[in-house]
Chain A
Amino acid sequence: MKAEGRITTASGNRRRFATAMAAPPFVILAVMTAYPLIFTVLYSFTNFQLLRKTVKFVGLKNYIKLFTNEYFLQSIGVTVKFTVFAVLFEVAVGFIMALFVESIHRERTAKILRVLLLVPYLLPSVTVALSWRMMLSPNYGIINRTLEALRLPVYNWFSDLHTALPMLILIDIWQNAPFVFLLLYAAMQSVPQSQYEAARMDGASYVQQVRFITVPGIAPVLALCALLRTIDSFRIFDKVNLLTGGGPANSTTTITQYLYAYGIKNLKFGFGSAGAIIMTLIVLVLSCLYIKKAVK
């Protein structure tokens, strides 16, 4: 009788402890994510504007407006272009960096290189954007000055239709390839050395070793990098907003930049919410493979 009482208080205590521990974080997450998600969906079917008193249910009107809006459709295209190029090059450059540092046998040198090459990734993206903006400045920027001295063509990089988006992509690669490098380098170290030794005995060249041992050995991490970079590139906003503001002629307006300019800044929250829902659905479709795997 007595013993039973003790067990029930023990499990009661345990339950109370678990509730006390888990309740605050999940209440916060509910308030900060579940509540806004539900309301973004609700708002998207209304003509909600912050400064207007009346809110009316308008059905699918916001969605129809978005899908017939040339600029919104263009922003999806720009985002896809940005994501495809940024992710491809970030993974490729990160992979080459990792192979290079992996090929250095002096451990101390490799360690120092690893942290120095990581620096761009650690900087605030606002700082990155501004330092590149100053270097690329048409008036006093070091890059145009150097190009002039070499008698090469110079551009007004962020206002030229041909260079604005490639420049944004380039800066994003500069900042984020080091992240891919770090993950791939860590993965390469866990590929067993014995496999390389066996391959060398069979007379495999360096390229063959990379192709048949390194790449298969790090394939899951390679996929993870591509996915993480896709998720982040797809929401690109800070560099766009700071460097081009979406211009010239909307050629760099990504989805988030579009929603910020036409749904949030001008307080047309119903319209903005519909755009946010469309973007959310695209992102979920893009990452559904990963989600499926993580659930297992």
Chain B
Amino acid sequence: MRGHVIKNSLKLLFGALLLIISLFPVYWLFVMAVQPSENLKTPCLYPAAFTADNFISLFAESGFLQPLKNSVIITLISLLFSLTFGLAAAYILARRRFSNRWKSGLSFYILIIRILPPVAFTIPLYTMFNRTGTLKTLFPMIMACILINLPMIIWFILGFFRQLPEEVEESAMIDGATEWQLYCRIVLPLVLPGIAAVAMLSFMSAWNEYTYSIIFVQSPQKYTIPLALAALNSEDNLTNFGLVSAAGLISMLPAALFVIFAQNYLIAGLSSGAVKD
């Protein structure tokens, strides 16, 4: 009995420690973001005073609205295209009736793209965007996010399509449904949970993107949130901790919303790799 009590309190202690280590940096951002900047020189574990000044000056003086807009536009447009194209490609790859001798090669190629480092693509893409004069627009970033997410979506959703029995489609076809009706009205609704999960993953990888952004984005007008955040962070003693923290909190909004409202899909999506094998 006593051993049991000791074991349980040790477990509780370990769990608390894990939670503190995992969540303290997030809590600390919150503490710094809601305090007046003079409080930050003498750190205290909880906010001694509250203010919205950091958030106000973030938008009024640091112009954070523009990067916020850019990030939303890039994320949503790239998501729309990668989902539409990714689902279509995965469907064709998953179904045996669309026979094609290139198929296994294509699946293999998609896997390779996931493995290759971004530097394998960036330089020619940069010259391509430079030559077409699109470097001053959001277009390169939209394309970069499609490049990141398209292979991921195809690979992910392929498993969902393969689990659907092909007989359902065959019987619908005998009833006179065209391929197009079949895909939109029968197949897609059946994989909706998979689509929700993969959409969240893609949303986050576009929202968090940094490597391509720092190469493809040049004017501050086209900064995304990660770039704007990085720009707020200058020399150590010049950095305004409150401002950076407020921006950091805003950058976490999508993840926070997904965790609060769609936790199950998110976790199913993230852990699908473990279940598939």
A binds B: yes
Residues of A participating in the B interface, judged by any CB pair closer than 8 Å: 13-15, 17-18, 21-22, 24-26, 28-29, 32-33, 35-40, 43, 50, 97, 100, 103-104, 113-128, 130-135, 137-142, 145, 174, 178-179, 182-187, 190, 220-221, 224, 228, 231, 234-235, 237-238, 241-242, 255-256, 259-260, 263-264, 269, 272-273, 275-277, 279-280, 283-284, 287, 290-291, 294-295
Given the complex of chains A and B, what is the CA–CA distance between A226 and B68 in angstroms? 35
Given the complex of chains A and B, what is the CA–CA distance between A279 and B211 in angstroms? 16
| 8 A Cβ contacts from B174-209 to A | 178-180, 183, 204, 207-208
B40 within 8 A of A: yes
User: Are A18 and B98 interface neighbours, CB within 8 A?
Assistant: yes
User: Are B97 and A14 interface neighbours, CB within 8 A?
Assistant: yes
Known contacts A119-B22, A131-B28, A187 near B274 by CB under 8 Å:
yes
| 8 A Cβ contacts from B226-269 to A | 226, 229-230, 233, 236-237, 239, 241, 244-245, 248, 251-252, 255, 258-259, 263, 267
| 8 A Cβ contacts from B1-56 to A | 11, 14-15, 18-19, 21-23, 25-26, 28-29, 32, 40-41, 43
User: Are A124 and B252 interface neighbours, CB within 8 A?
Assistant: yes
How big is chain B's contact interface, by range? 35 or more
Given the complex of chains A and B, what is the CA–CA distance between A264 and B119 in angstroms? 9
B181 to chain A, nearest CB (A): 11
User: Are A139 and B150 interface neighbours, CB within 8 A?
Assistant: no
User: Are B226 and A40 interface neighbours, CB within 8 A?
Assistant: no
User: Are A137 and B214 interface neighbours, CB within 8 A?
Assistant: no
B168 within 8 A of A: no
Known contacts A18-B98, A32-B146, A279-B119, A186 near B271 by CB under 8 Å:
yes
User: Are B120 and A140 interface neighbours, CB within 8 A?
Assistant: no
Known contacts A36-B123, A100-B14, A140 near B41 by CB under 8 Å:
yes
B167 within 8 A of A: no
- Residue of A134, A187, A277 near B244 (CB, 8 A) is A134
Given the complex of chains A and B, what is the CA–CA distance between A17 and B110 in angstroms? 21
- Residue of A132, A140, A145, A290 near B241 (CB, 8 A) is A140
User: Are B210 and A279 interface neighbours, CB within 8 A?
Assistant: no
Number of A-B contacts (CB under 8 A): 267
A291 to chain B, nearest CB (A): 7
Among residues of A, the one whose C-beta sits closest to the C-beta of B270 is: A182
- Residue of B15, B100, B237, B267 near A139 (CB, 8 A) is B237
- B120 partner residues in chain A, CB cutoff 8 A: 36-37, 40, 276-277, 279-280
Closest 4 A/B residue pairs (Cβ): A39-B124, A25-B85, A36-B124, A25-B89
User: Are B127 and A269 interface neighbours, CB within 8 A?
Assistant: yes
- Residue of B89, B128, B251 near A127 (CB, 8 A) is B251
Known contacts A29-B150, A280-B120, A287 near B89 by CB under 8 Å:
no
User: Are A122 and B274 interface neighbours, CB within 8 A?
Assistant: no
Known: A137-B239, A142-B43, A221-B277. 15 other contacts (CB 8 A): A22-B92, A25-B88, A36-B121, A37-B116, A121-B270, A128-B25, A130-B233, A133-B233, A134-B241, A134-B245, A138-B236, A174-B25, A182-B267, A224-B277, A272-B119
User: Are B244 and A130 interface neighbours, CB within 8 A?
Assistant: yes
Given the complex of chains A and B, what is the CA–CA distance between A14 and B241 in angstroms? 59
Complex A-B: 11 CB contacts under 8 Å: A29-B147, A36-B124, A97-B18, A120-B25, A131-B28, A139-B236, A187-B275, A260-B119, A264-B122, A273-B123, A275-B119
